[in-house]
Structure 1
Amino acid sequence: MQINHNQLLRFTTAGSVDDGKSTLIGRLLYDSKSIFEDQMAAIENSSKKKGHNGIDLALFTDGLRDEREQGITIDVAYRYFTTPKRKFIIADTPGHIQYTRNMVTGASTANAAIILIDARHGVIEQTRRHTYIASLLKIPHLIICVNKMDLVDYDKTTFNNIVDQFKDFSTQTGSSDLHFIPISALLGDNVVNDSKNMPWYTGKPLLHTLETLDISKDDEQEEARFPVQTVLRPQREGFIDYRGYAGRIASGTLRVGDLITVLPSGLSSTIESITGPGGEIEEAFAPMSIALTLKDDIDISRGDMIVRTANPPEPSQDFEVMLCWLHNDAAKPRTKYTIKHTSNDQKAMIKEVLYKININNLEKKENDHSLQMNDISRVRIKTTRPLMVDPYERNRSTGSIILIDDATNETVAAGMIV
């Protein structure tokens, strides 16, 4: 497989407290020489102040700790680095059980998830929770790093037992592309460089795995979905009669001459022109931001969706969602929320809680209709006006929603349409 060196890979890290996520990310950045000189000097200085003989790798990601201690809420930290083979964005989420909601946020656009397992403890509840959330979010690639192998004497049997444990659970979630790597983030085994301590492992280290993941088809979707964010009516010379519709393509491809339908009105027209950042173009694809014009004068506003006539979504006011409750306060029955779906905002309420998921065994709890923080439930949502929805498994952009409390303007839930 030939890798596009400009291709961007988004990945998230997930693990329980003290599984070594900060050390792993620090090792990844340090050994791949992705640290600027001034950053390195600051880390070396901080490490000396803390009494370390060498560099404390966790400090590369713990720079936000001071802000947290000052009461500033930082739930998901994003870090960027580049190798000669690929560009990367890391979404680093805290490991405490009450921060499960942040994995939903950090992993929502990820191509891959690194799930850390402490070799001493094996698969625990947090492992199951993170794996299940990754499967809900349809993250295509899972990399399971069994960390702290140095603390179990680099034992092959320990690693193989954990692999078997994980596979037994993951078969219930539908996760398919799995990569298992025994590592020591602290000592660098199999992170960037091959481990001399585990000759029995014949696979590739973590960085090589990240660089060679085939993500070319991860976001391929046939359906063209263009949520309108704003209508352009510039009143200046040369644009007096211009009416453009601007936004970012959520999925698929649009071309000049395509027959389109505007939803929810159902009116049809043909794309007359497409303008990108560099001027007029003949075709555009997700996730490009564009403005397009139509051959017919149609009443279109923010929240409407332009789609190819051949494969429209289903407008719906009543649909089922796998919902992750994110807020400290429990959901209140029949409360009205603002639902955000692409560029469309509507009023909505949770009509019914169908069942909750027991993360430990994936059993359905059908008699529990409460929604507490970190609960994952299948619910029925009713909206005041139709939304143009697709099942999440077909389209991550038009298959996802969030709920916002009108009184506090806080995001209380995120969901995947089924």
Structure 2
Amino acid sequence: MPGELLRVVTAGSVDDGKSTLVGRLLHDAKAVLADQMTAVETASERRGYEGADLALLVDGLRAEREQGITIDVAYRYFATARRTFILADTPGHVQYTRNTVTGASTADVAVILVDARSGVVEQTKRHLAVTSLLRVSEIVLAVNKMDLVGYAETVFDAIVGDFAAAASQLGRAHFTPIPVAALAGDNIVDKSVNMPWFSGAPLLEYLEEVEPAVGRQLPARFPVQVVIRPQTALYPDYRGYAGRVEAGVLRKGDKVRVLPSGRVSSVEGIDTPDGELAEAAAGRSVTVRLTDDVDIARGDLIVADGDPQPVATRELAATVCWLTDKPLRAGDRYRLRHTTRDIQAVVDGVHSRLDIATVTPEPATELGLNDIGKVRIRLAEPAVVDPYQVNRSTGAFLLVDPSSGATVAAGMVS
């Protein structure tokens, strides 16, 4: 059976070869069905290509195929003998930064591609900033198209140095550089004979072996989605709280605290459609029963009764990625969506914007499309939050336009 699930996101500038890399990875890992490969070969021949364009395995929308670019986030699922993967290929165009945020928000590993001919560019820094702010635990720098620079080690080393400088400004000390040529398959699944100077593992081997930080190691966090009270003859006194474990592990008998009320109880049982569980880890959807009759509603948070505890607050200092054309300004009103709660919110102030070119903050009074900046938000009622650097689930939120229902920002609690 394949091992633990790993979520991977790819990002990079236009024409860096992201879709080709993902297609090559799927093809060489024997994760492509025969009819899929036949369809790709037929489409490639129709477009006049000499061989199969493996990018077509990922670029599924008609507009993507016509333009030769990635527009949507394309998710692919595959497995090797050692691990199961969910791989998200995100767009390279700056106007689709919101899609990159979507793909990176749940990723364990980010593979950031750089064209060996052009090196680190502004969009590289943007994707590095997004994946760093979203606390993706592992970053791979894949220097692609090494075949077009003669597989030169000096070119690779210079790009790694430039990337390291940008990462350092974002407080990112660790990343893994790999030189690849996705079109030919160098260092994708098998080690490249063209780059004997590189002693590291090829990309797939790295992805099979990497051990990212996992949610099980965090204190338990369980946002209540639905209160279940069937009130039938079979279950006359049943009261359960349904939702998904967002972090840690909930176990039968655990002492827990319900927030924001602060009431303390214990886990009496953990139910699923397949029967009762002794424990439920991060990512598992369950119904929790408590030993005490506690007043709990949708949006409440059941947490492990220990340190660190989340904080109930009506003021948030946060970093946001702005996702719409209308600028974000002080005084603007939105709905803040945090775990299973929606709260009325007003922007108290915009304090700074990240200059992507220099990867440093600069003073600002508003944020425009694709800007990343620091803001302060006031809430109509308390939200129970962890700092995002502690917990990616309970430290994240969305801002929603109340009139249109459109998501306008992804936020991280500072």
Change in 2 beyond 3 A, CA 1:62/1:254? closer
Q: Distance in 2 between matches of 1:82 and 1:283?
A: 26
Q: Structure 2 counterpart of 1:232, which letter? A: I
Q: Distance in 2 between matches of 1:352 and 1:221?
A: 35
Displacement after TM superposition at 1:308 (Å): 2.3
1:5 and 2:37 aligned: no
CA offsets 1:113-165 (integer angstroms, 9 cap, x no match)? 11111111111111111111111011111111111111111111111111111
Equivalent residue in structure 1 for 2:137, among 140, 152, 159: 140
Q: Distance in 2 between matches of 1:385 and 1:349?
A: 12
> Is the Cα contact below 8 Å between 2:141 and 2:176 reproduced in 1?
yes
Task: In structure 2, list runs of 5 or more residues that go unmatched.
Answer: none
Displacement after TM superposition at 1:62 (Å): 2.0
SS for the counterpart of 1:18 is coil
Displacement after TM superposition at 1:201 (Å): 1.3
Displacement after TM superposition at 1:332 (Å): 4.5
Q: Distance in 1 between matches of 2:78 and 2:409?
A: 31
> Is the Cα contact below 8 Å between 1:330 and 1:372 reproduced in 2?
yes
Partner of residue 108, structure 2: 111
TM-score normalized with structure 2 length: 0.95
Change in 2 beyond 3 A, CA 1:154/1:68? closer
Q: Distance in 2 between matches of 1:24 and 1:384?
A: 46
Q: Distance in 2 between matches of 1:414 and 1:205?
A: 33
1:222 and 2:236 aligned: no
Partner of residue 382, structure 1: 378
Q: Distance in 2 between matches of 1:322 and 1:85?
A: 37
Q: Distance in 1 between matches of 2:324 and 2:137?
A: 27
Partner of residue 60, structure 2: 63
Structure 1 window deviating more from structure 2 (197-206 vs 389-398): it is 197-206
Q: Distance in 1 between matches of 2:296 and 2:65?
A: 44
Structure 1 window deviating more from structure 2 (17-26 vs 264-273): it is 264-273
Pairing of 1:29-40 with structure 2 (within 5 A): 29-40=26-37
Partner of residue 415, structure 1: 411
1:391 and 2:384 aligned: no
Pairing of 1:16-415 with structure 2 (within 5 A): 16-66=13-63, 75-215=72-212, 217-311=213-307, 312-366=309-363, 368-415=364-411
> Is the Cα contact below 8 Å between 2:160 and 2:177 reproduced in 1?
yes
CA offsets 1:208-228 (integer angstroms, 9 cap, x no match)? 11111113x333443211100
Displacement after TM superposition at 1:358 (Å): 0.7
Q: Distance in 2 between matches of 1:245 and 1:219?
A: 21
> Is the Cα contact below 8 Å between 1:257 and 1:270 reproduced in 2?
yes
SS for the counterpart of 1:350 is strand
Q: Distance in 2 between matches of 1:282 and 1:197?
A: 52
CA offsets 1:186-207 (integer angstroms, 9 cap, x no match)? 1111111211111111111111
Q: Distance in 2 between matches of 1:81 and 1:222?
A: 27
Structure 1 window deviating more from structure 2 (172-181 vs 112-121): it is 172-181
SS for the counterpart of 2:55 is helix
CA offsets 1:295-320 (integer angstroms, 9 cap, x no match)? 22122110011112223311011010
Displacement after TM superposition at 1:69 (Å): 7.2
TM-score normalized with structure 1 length: 0.94
Query: Percent same amino acid at aligned positions?
Result: 50
> Is the Cα contact below 8 Å between 1:225 and 1:306 reproduced in 2?
yes
Q: Structure 1 counterpart of 2:298, which letter? A: R
Q: Distance in 1 between matches of 2:284 and 2:362?
A: 42
Q: Distance in 1 between matches of 2:389 and 2:162?
A: 26
CA offsets 1:376-417 (integer angstroms, 9 cap, x no match)? 111001111101100001000000000000111100000110
Displacement after TM superposition at 1:293 (Å): 1.4
> Is the Cα contact below 8 Å between 1:27 and 1:185 reproduced in 2?
yes
Structure 1 window deviating more from structure 2 (254-263 vs 21-30): it is 254-263
> Is the Cα contact below 8 Å between 2:216 and 2:249 reproduced in 1?
no
> Is the Cα contact below 8 Å between 2:166 and 2:359 reproduced in 1?
no
SS for the counterpart of 1:63 is coil
Displacement after TM superposition at 1:172 (Å): 1.6
Displacement after TM superposition at 1:238 (Å): 2.0
Displacement after TM superposition at 1:284 (Å): 1.9
> Is the Cα contact below 8 Å between 1:342 and 1:398 reproduced in 2?
yes
Displacement after TM superposition at 1:67 (Å): 7.3
> Is the Cα contact below 8 Å between 1:140 and 1:218 reproduced in 2?
no
> Is the Cα contact below 8 Å between 2:6 and 2:84 reproduced in 1?
yes
Structure 1 window deviating more from structure 2 (122-131 vs 327-336): it is 327-336
Q: Distance in 2 between matches of 1:37 and 1:334?
A: 56
Aligned residues: 411
Change in 2 beyond 3 A, CA 1:101/1:250? same
RMSD, aligned α-carbons: 1.8
Q: Distance in 1 between matches of 2:178 and 2:267?
A: 49
Displacement after TM superposition at 1:331 (Å): 2.2
SS for the counterpart of 2:328 is coil
